[in-house]
């Protein structure tokens, strides 16, 4: 009998219908993503069961429902550990699942924690500070220009054309605004002026490998930051191209893979890397639950540019989880 794969996710339309703003719901998934993932898993010969968000999963688990594997892309709603909620529930009920565990999901969503772990692993990342309250702003001893963003958001939320900061006055204005809007600390780091890349990693630990790397280049009409708006309208504002082969790409991919391993990401992850003024690669952040929209998300874009079909990408993630958890292809 074929195995059954449950799907956990936060559906964007549900939250917007409940009154959440489009930006607040920006990290959640479109129904097209869920349909595509389900179709890819079914193409492997497996059955799928759409569970939904963390609350829906809780009800199903308490009712006694179980699955051979859960394909998890649930982001959660509240708190800096929100991405850890579904993995924690699945571990509590001993249900195998794809992607990273609760500790990794929580540590990587908090950009301050992630950068500390990367720094302690001896890997390069820009000098940084965390502003928890307005009184911290004057204590920030970093070299300008700086870059500021909420410490625990994704999808470019809180980033706009003011995020690059050239003076203490600008820093005070931007940090005060972010503290109020997002009700969380602000990560401030020294701005890197070089090219930006995102490295797609598949597999786990010693089996992890780089699928490929795309360069992210904003078009002239775009705001000077890879923001929520630029990601939303990427077709008009962003150029995604496969990174050119050479020593720079080798350094970028080596760093991306090392960061994914150091942070103990599993099955897949996406690591953002930027070059400094001297062309050296530095870690910016990592996403252990990368977007999987078949057209719009960076990981599928990378796969598509490399000629890997979407179904193959999803199958590779599932196969990694099956191998890691010891789940047999047949019940």
What pLDDT digit, counting tens, does each position of 234-251 carry? 666 778 899 999 999 999
What pLDDT, on the 0 to 100 scale, is given for residue 66? 98
Q: Is the pLDDT of residue 230 over 60?
A: no
φ and ψ at 138, to 5 degrees? -75, -10
Q: Is the pLDDT of residue 113 over 60?
A: yes
pLDDT (average), residues 308-320: 98
Measured CA to CA in angstroms, residue 195 lies from 62, 123, 240 at distances of 48, 18, 12
Q: Are 121 and 114 in contact (CB under 8 A)?
A: no
Place of tokens 């600008």: 170
Domain extent listing, the chain? 4-98, 127-190, 193-288
174-203 pLDDT tens trace: 999 999 999 999 999 999 999 999 999 999
Q: Are 271 and 286 in contact (CB under 8 A)?
A: yes
In this structure, are strands 69-72 and 4-8 parallel, antiparallel, or unpaired? parallel
Q: Are 130 and 138 in contact (CB under 8 A)?
A: no
Q: Is the pLDDT of residue 49 over 80?
A: yes
Architecture of domain 193-288: 2-Layer Sandwich (3.30)
Residue 224: pLDDT band (50, 70, 90) is low
121-178 pLDDT tens trace: 999 999 999 999 999 988 888 999 999 999 999 878 888 889 999 999 999 999 999 9
Q: Can you list the alpha helix ranges (DSSP code H) found in the chain? A: 12-17, 31-43, 54-62, 85-92, 102-109, 111-120, 168-182, 228-232, 234-237, 247-262, 298-305, 310-325
CATH topology of domain 4-98: Rossmann fold (3.40.50)
**Cα 105 to Cα 75: distance, rounded to the nearest angstrom:** 9
φ and ψ at 155, to 5 degrees? 55, 30
Measured CA to CA in angstroms, residue 231 lies from 34, 159, 252, 293 at distances of 20, 11, 22, 13
Mean pLDDT in the chain? 93
Of residues 223 and 313, the one with the higher pLDDT is 313
pTM: 0.92
Q: Show Cβ contacts of residue 259 under 8 Å, excluding neighbours closer than 6 positions.
A: 118, 121, 123, 271, 283, 286
70-98 pLDDT tens trace: 999 999 998 899 999 999 999 999 999 99
The CB-based long-range contact list for 322-330 (8 Å cut-off, 24+ gap) reads: 322/69, 323/207, 324/204, 324/266, 324/267, 325/69, 325/96, 327/3, 327/68, 327/69, 327/96, 328/3, 329/3, 330/1, 330/2, 330/3
**Cα 33 to Cα 52: distance, rounded to the nearest angstrom:** 13
CATH topology of domain 127-190: Dna Ligase; domain 1 (3.30.1490)
């Amino acid at each position: 009998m074929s195995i059954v794969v449950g799907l956990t996710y936060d559906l964007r339309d549900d939250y917007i219908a409940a009154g959440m703003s489009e930006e607040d719901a920006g990290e959640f998934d479109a129904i097209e993503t869920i349909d595509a993932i389900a179709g890819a898993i079914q193409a492997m010969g497996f059955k799928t069961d759409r569970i939904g968000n963390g609350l829906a999963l809780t009800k199903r688990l308490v009712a006694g429902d179980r699955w051979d594997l859960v394909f998890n892309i649930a982001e959660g709603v509240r708190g800096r550990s929100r991405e850890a909620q579904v993995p924690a529930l699945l571990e509590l009920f001993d249900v195998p699942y794809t992607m990273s565990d609760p500790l990794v999901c929580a540590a990587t969503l908090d950009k301050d924690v992630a950068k500390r772990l990367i720094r302690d692993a001896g890997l390069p990342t820009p000098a940084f500070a965390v502003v928890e309250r307005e009184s911290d702003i004057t204590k920030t001893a970093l070299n300008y220009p700086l870059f500021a963003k909420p410490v625990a958001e994704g999808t470019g939320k809180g980033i706009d054309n003011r995020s690059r900061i050239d003076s203490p006055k600008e820093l005070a204005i931007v940090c005060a605004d972010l503290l109020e809007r997002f009700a969380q600390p602000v990560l401030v780091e020294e701005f890197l002026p070089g090219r930006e890349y995102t490295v797609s990693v598949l597999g786990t630990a010693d089996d992890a490998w780089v699928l490929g790397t795309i360069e992210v280049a904003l078009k002239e009409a775009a705001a000077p930051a890879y923001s929520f708006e630029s990601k939303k309208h990427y077709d008009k504002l962003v150029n995604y191209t496969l990174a050119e082969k050479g020593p720079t790409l080798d350094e970028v991919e080596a760093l991306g893979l090392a960061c994914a391993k150091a942070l103990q990401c599993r099955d897949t992850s996406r690591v953002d890397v930027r070059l400094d003024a001297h062309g050296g690669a530095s870690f910016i952040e990592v996403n252990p639950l990368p977007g999987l929209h078949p057209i719009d998300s960076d990981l599928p874009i990378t796969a598509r540019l490399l000629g890997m079909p979407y179904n193959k990408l999803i199958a590779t993630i599932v196969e990694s989880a099956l191998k890691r958890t010891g789940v047999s292809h047949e019940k």
